[in-house]
């Protein structure tokens, strides 16, 4: 079957299509109804079916591949490496589940996980879904204020944490941050379960804090059966990054999510049981949920959980792991690839990468120069994919497991099965059918299995935020601009709220970034719109050069700025030319690699950049302040 026909069938014969995909997972009781969309925009998938996410990720593999590697925990921060077979993982998850039950956790309760990238974090996630509790993972090292707001929203019965994490060989204490967050929060958890890594001294609060080591020893032989839950039972909540004010908890179901991941591992990622999957993300983000923990395990693959930097001990560490564990499918972000692009290319030829069949990239738009470089370096398909915390799995990519398709550099691909993706005029709500017409990327309901059910405890916010921004239409807005070419490939042009209005001309920052990226001496770029008394807004570009010498003197910076202006002039016209090109050493980003464009914009406009708790390198923003000072 052609992919086009496959996709069409997922929309026109929706129930039959998803009934077939549902056979990819185990059901304790089969669903009575595939999709209940009687109350738009709320979709209920596989109604009446009973299943369990942990069973599908772990238990069902024990009998047939119990000795096969399931979870490979690697830390270049602590120089430790440990592989857990499916049988060993099964035992560890039951020990964690028993510990949580002893601390009072039951079906429907929340457990907040504030952890580094260690095996116990995965045990905790799987243990929660095993007993029907909801996990809420908060990125390890998050600042106390941000953590407190999530504690208040989720109201966890128990928090699972550790003494600390480590970054670049430097220990990051978690416990003091957690203690302060609990003090700030209105809601107080009944217990805190702590993993002792020996990184930093750990003080236990009597009556509240418990040692994982002690509880694990107590429950070594624990047998905790899976709690069979309705397919619509929530599996977890995850707070979207960059939220302001009251946190926005994306709520995910159980059955729809399990089916969506199983189908995506088959049709998109082509993962086979017994192979190894390596996602370089973090469990604090949705990629870590879907494609470090649940997706690969559901598919019967081994999954690598990596704590460390891509450049430590050297820039070959990821490729060393690919060789050692015969990784077949790898998932990373364009930011990480751009970091590696600046390193010695010899690292890519040092290791045997013959097991690798494809590299998938997501998290931000993949620029063509980066895609070209990594494609020629690895000589495997580079498959971009576009999705969101809210969707849980790719919206746009290539389903090569259905039909081999050609990647187009600069495009994440075509609409995935189940997603009725359309483009709309944001002013009139008119659907745009023609090729290369720019509109808001939106999805007709119902959203397919695996997507968010609602905003945690706030159905109205779910409707108002996502379903009411296109005039006269009840459609899910991605808040991204896009175009679709004559072959159905989409190109993402940036956030609808990142559009610059320069003297009446509407410009997407993404388009300007693409143009600047084509300059041979540009490693990274961020473009933001800055308020201007004359033009309303002007574009401001921040560029990290490949050649560090380009930023050493004012003359060199001025020369590069002029060259970049000429490139934009030639490709997009003078109207798109940035008012300034600021040459910097590093761009401000979150720890997950997302550019903090709004913080850049705020600094340029002399405003408070807001909550920077997720920022990776605070010095990056200070450099921008210093460089902007002469122009202020």
Q: How far apart are CA 107 and CA 574, in angstroms?
A: 60
Q: Report whether pLDDT(241) > 60.
A: no
Residue 251 has what pLDDT?
98
Q: Report whether pLDDT(533) > 80.
A: no
Residue 194 has what pLDDT?
98
* Range 412-415, long-range pairs (CB < 8 A, 24+ positions): 412/362, 412/365, 412/366, 412/384, 412/385, 412/386, 412/490, 412/492, 413/383, 413/384, 413/385, 413/386, 413/489, 413/490, 414/3, 414/7, 414/487, 414/488, 414/489, 414/490, 415/7, 415/488, 415/490
Residue 242 has what pLDDT?
37
Res. 625 pLDDT band, cuts 50 70 90: confident
Q: How far apart are CA 276 and CA 296, in angstroms?
A: 8
Res. 611 pLDDT band, cuts 50 70 90: low
Lowest mean pLDDT among 72-76, 433-437, 526-530: 526-530
**First-last CA distance in the chain:** 60
Q: Report whether pLDDT(505) > 70.
A: no
Res. 338 pLDDT band, cuts 50 70 90: confident
Residue 341 has what pLDDT?
86
Residue 5 has what pLDDT?
98
Of the candidates 382, 345, 295, 307, the one whose C-alpha atom is nearest the C-alpha of residue 53 is: 295
pLDDT, mean of residues 358-362 = 95
Tell me the per-residue pLDDT of 149-177, one tens digit each, with 9 for 90 and over.
899 999 999 999 999 999 999 999 999 99
Residue 612 has what pLDDT?
63
Tell me the per-residue pLDDT of 363-384, one tens digit each, with 9 for 90 and over.
877 878 888 899 999 999 999 9
Res. 243 pLDDT band, cuts 50 70 90: very low
Q: Which of 472-486, 511-525, 596-610 has the highest mean pLDDT?
A: 472-486
Residue with tokens 């001496």: 521
Please state, for a pLDDT cut of 70, what percent of the chain lies above it.
95
Contact 516, 568 (CB under 8 A): yes
Q: How far apart are CA 480 and CA 493, in angstroms?
A: 7
Contact 164, 115 (CB under 8 A): no
Tell me the per-residue pLDDT of 319-333, one tens digit each, with 9 for 90 and over.
999 999 999 999 998
Class of domain 503-631: alpha beta
Domains of the chain, by residue range, sit at 3-308+385-478, 503-631
Lowest mean pLDDT among 204-218, 236-250, 481-495: 236-250
C-beta atoms surrounding 608 within 10 Å: 9
Establish whether domains 3-308+385-478 and 503-631 are of one fold.
no
Tell me the per-residue pLDDT of 98-130, one tens digit each, with 9 for 90 and over.
999 999 999 999 999 999 999 999 999 999 999
pLDDT, mean of residues 402-420 = 95
Res. 535 pLDDT band, cuts 50 70 90: confident
Q: What is the DSSP letter of 142?
A: -
Q: What is the DSSP letter of 96?
A: H
Does the domain made of 3-308+385-478 have the CATH classification 2.60.40.10?
no
Residue with tokens 């549902």: 22
Q: Report whether pLDDT(596) > 90.
A: no
Q: How far apart are CA 460 and CA 41, in angstroms?
A: 11
- What's the mean pLDDT when you consider all of the chain? 92
What is the sign, positive or negative, of the torsion defined by CA atoms of 561, 562, 566, 567? negative
């Amino acid at each position: 079957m052609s992919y086009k026909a496959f996709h069409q069938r997922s929309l026109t014969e929706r129930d039959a299509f998803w009934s077939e995909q549902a056979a990819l997972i185990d059901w304790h009781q089969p669903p009575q109804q595939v999709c209940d969309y009687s109350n738009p925009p709320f979709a209920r998938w596989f109604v009446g079916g009973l299943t369990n996410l942990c069973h599908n990720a772990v238990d069902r593999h024990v009998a047939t591949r119990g000795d096969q590697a399931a979870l490979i925990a690697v830390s270049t921060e602590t120089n430790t490496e440990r592989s857990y077979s499916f049988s060993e993982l099964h035992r560890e998850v039951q020990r964690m589940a028993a510990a949580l039950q002893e601390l009072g956790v039951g079906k429907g309760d929340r457990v907040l996980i504030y952890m580094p990238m260690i095996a116990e974090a995965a045990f905790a996630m799987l243990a929660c879904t095993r007993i029907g509790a909801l996990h809420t993972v908060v990125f390890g090292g998050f600042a106390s204020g941000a953590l407190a707001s999530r504690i208040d929203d989720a109201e966890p019965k128990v928090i699972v944490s550790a003494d600390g994490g480590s970054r670049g060989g430097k220990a990051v204490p978690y416990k003091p941050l957690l203690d302060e967050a609990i003090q700030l929060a209105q809601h107080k958890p009944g217990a805190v379960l702590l993993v002792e890594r020996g990184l930093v001294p750990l003080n236990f609060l009597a009556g509240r804090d418990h040692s994982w080591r002690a509880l694990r020893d107590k429950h070594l032989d624990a047998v905790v059966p899976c709690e069979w839950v309705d397919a619509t039972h929530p599996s977890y909540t995850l707070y979207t990054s960059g939220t302001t004010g009251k946190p926005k908890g994306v709520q995910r179901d159980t059955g729809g999510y399990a089916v969506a991941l199983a189908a995506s591992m088959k049709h998109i990622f082509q993962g086979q049981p017994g192979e190894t999957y390596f996602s370089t993300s973090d469990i604090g983000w949705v990629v870590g949920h879907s494609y470090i923990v649940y997706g690969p395990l559901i598919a019967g693959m081994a999954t690598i959980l990596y704590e460390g930097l891509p450049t430590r001990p050297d820039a070959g560490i990821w490729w060393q792991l690919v060789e050692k564990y015969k990784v077949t499918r790898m998932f990373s972000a364009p930011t990480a690839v751009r970091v590696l692009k600046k390193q010695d290319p010899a690292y890519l030829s040092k290791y045997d990468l013959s097991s690798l069949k494809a590299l998938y990239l997501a998290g931000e738009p993949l620029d063509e120069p980066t895609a070209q470089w990594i494609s020629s370096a690895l000589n495997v398909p580079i498959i971009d994919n576009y999705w969101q915390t809210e969707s849980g799995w790719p919206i746009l990519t290539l389903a090569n497991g259905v039909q081999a398709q050609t990647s187009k550099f600069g495009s994440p691909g075509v609409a995935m099965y189940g997603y009725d993706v359309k483009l709309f005029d944001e002013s009139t709500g008119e659907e745009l059918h023609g090729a290369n017409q720019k509109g808001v990327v939106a999805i007709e309901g119902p959203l397919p299995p695996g997507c968010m059910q609602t905003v945690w405890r706030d159905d109205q916010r779910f409707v108002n935020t996502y379903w009411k921004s296109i005039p006269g239409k009840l459609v899910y807005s991605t808040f991204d601009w896009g175009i679709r070419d004559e072959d159905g490939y989409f190109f993402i042009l940036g956030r609808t709220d990142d559009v610059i209005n320069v003297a009446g001309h509407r410009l997407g920052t993404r388009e300007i970034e693409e143009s600047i990226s084509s300059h041979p001496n540009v490693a990274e770029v961020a473009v933001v719109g800055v308020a201007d008394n004359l033009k309303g807004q002007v574009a401001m570009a921040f560029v990290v050069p490949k050649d560090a010498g380009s930023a050493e003197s004012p003359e060199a910076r001025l020369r590069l700025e002029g060259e970049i202006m000429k490139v934009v002039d030639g490709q997009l016209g003078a109207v798109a030319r940035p008012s300034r090109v600021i040459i910097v050493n590093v761009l401000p980003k979150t720890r997950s690699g997302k550019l903090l464009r709004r913080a850049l914009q705020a600094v340029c406009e002399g405003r408070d950049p807001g909550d920077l708790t997720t920022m990776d390198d605070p010095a990056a923003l200070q450099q921008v302040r210093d460089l902007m000072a002469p122009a202020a």
